C-alpha cells in the first residue's frame, strides 16, 4: 500500500528529501505522494522515512492503493532496475 499525505500537511518540506524513491513532490496545496513510486521504504528502510520525519503525523496508508509487502518489494525492484 502506498502512502498519502492528508490535508493536515503544513508544507514543512521535510518529507520530500527523506523519500529514497523520489515519490514525494509539492502539489498545488500540499505535498503529494506518487503511488507508482511509493514502496513505504520497503527495500530501503524498516519504516517509511516520510512518516518518521513528519512533525504533524499527516502521512497515512492510502486505502485506494492497497499492496502487500511482496508487491511493495516487487515495485522496489522495478524502480531500482529502471534507475540503472
CB-based contacts of 21-29 (< 8 A; 24+ apart in sequence): 21/76, 21/79, 24/50
Q: pLDDT tens digits for 35-51? A: 999 999 999 999 999 99
Three-state secondary-structure class, residue 54: coil
Inter-residue contact 1 to 61 (CB < 8 Å): yes
| Domain count along the chain | 1
Positions of E strands within the chain: 3-5, 24-26, 31-33, 59-61
Full domain range(s) for residue 56: 3-83
User: Residue 71 belongs to a domain with what CATH number?
Assistant: 3.30.70.20
User: Band of the pLDDT at 83, cuts 50, 70, 90?
Assistant: confident
Angstrom distance (rounded) from CA 7 to CA 37: 20
Amino acid at each position: 500500500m502506498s502512502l498519502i499525505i492528508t490535508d493536515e500537511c503544513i508544507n514543512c518540506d521535510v518529507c520530500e528529501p527523506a523519500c529514497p524513491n523520489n515519490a514525494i513532490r509539492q502539489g498545488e496545496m500540499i505535498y503529494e505522494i506518487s503511488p507508482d513510486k511509493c514502496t513505504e521504504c520497503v527495500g530501503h528502510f524498516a519504516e517509511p522515512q516520510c512518516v518518521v520525519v513528519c512533525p504533524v503525523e499527516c502521512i497515512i496508508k492510502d486505502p485506494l492503493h492497497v499492496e502487500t509487502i511482496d508487491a511493495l518489494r516487487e515495485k522496489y525492484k522495478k524502480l531500482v532496475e529502471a534507475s540503472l
